[in-house]
Each structure stands twice: as C-alpha cells, then as structure tokens.
C-alpha cells in the first residue's frame, strides 16, 4: 500500500492492524499495481522538480533541474536498471519522459556554462 494512503488511513483513525489486514487481503492484481506504483513513486517528484526549475532565470534553479534530471536519468534511463517485471509497462509509461530529459539536460548544462 502506498505510504500516502497509509497515512490517510492512519489520520482517519485506522490502526496498524487494519492496515496490515488491508495489505494482506488485497487482490493480487491490486497488490501488483501498488508494488509498481511504489517502485516508481519518485518518478513524478523528480520529473516535476526538473520541470519546475528548468526555465528559471536563477542559476540555483538550473542546478536543481540538472540534478533532478541526472538523478531521473541515472535511475530510469537504462532499461536494464528497471526491475525486469516492470520494464514493459515502464517503457510504455515513461519512455517519452526519459527521452525529454535526455534531450533537455545538455541544453541546461550549456546554459549553466554560459552563466
């Protein structure tokens, strides 16, 4: 179960026992999808950090964008680094994001060098 969902259930008064029961009794397809989502939970955060900072006129923001893009590329830029059971779905879901970041990083680095 995703951490955000667990937090929401706990905030609503759910006990650890309830969370355990839910986790143990999820249908297999739901468990598999949740595992996939948890495995890639930070993709959206890293990509958003990249997007939010890539067009700023501030040098520090460019650095943040480059760091986020490099981290995204390091984690997800090579299919062989992705768990085998997730590779096909990952390519379908994130192929364009990886390609976009890979194209933008050299441009950002060039801008940084000119500053």
pLDDT tens column, 46-75 = 999 999 999 888 889 989 999 999 999 888
**Would you call 41 helix, strand, or coil by DSSP?**
helix
Are 9 and 33 part of one and the same domain?
Answer: yes
What is the CB neighbour count within 10 angstroms for residue 110? 9
Same domain? For 45 and 90 the reply is: yes
**Number of separate domains in the chain:** 2
Give residue-wise pLDDT tens across range 10-39. Answer: 888 878 887 777 777 777 777 777 777 787
- Put simply, whether the predicted model's pTM sits higher than 0.85 gets the answer no
Same-domain pairing of 69 and 26: no
Same domain, 81 and 32: no
What is the C-alpha to C-alpha distance for residues 58 and 47, in angstroms, rounded to an integer? 19
Q: 100: how many CB neighbours lie within 10 A of its CB?
A: 16
Tokens 């468990």 correspond to what residue? 31
* Residues whose CB is less than 8 angstroms from the CB of residue 33 and which lie 6 or more positions away in sequence, other chains included: none
Domain extent for 96 = 41-114
Q: What is the CA radius of gyration of the chain?
A: 18
């Amino acid at each position: 179960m995703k951490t955000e969902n667990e937090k929401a259930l706990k905030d609503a008064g759910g006990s650890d026992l309830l969370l355990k029961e839910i986790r143990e009794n999820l249908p297999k397809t739901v468990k598999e999808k949740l595992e996939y989502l948890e495995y890639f939970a930070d993709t959206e955060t890293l990509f958003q950090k990249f997007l939010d900072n890539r067009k700023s006129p501030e040098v520090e923001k460019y650095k943040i964008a480059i760091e986020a893009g490099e981290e995204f590329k390091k984690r997800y830029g090579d299919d062989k680094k992705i768990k085998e059971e997730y590779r096909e779905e990952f390519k379908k879901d994130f192929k364009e994001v990886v390609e976009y970041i890979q194209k933008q990083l050299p441009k950002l680095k060039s801008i940084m060098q000119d500053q």
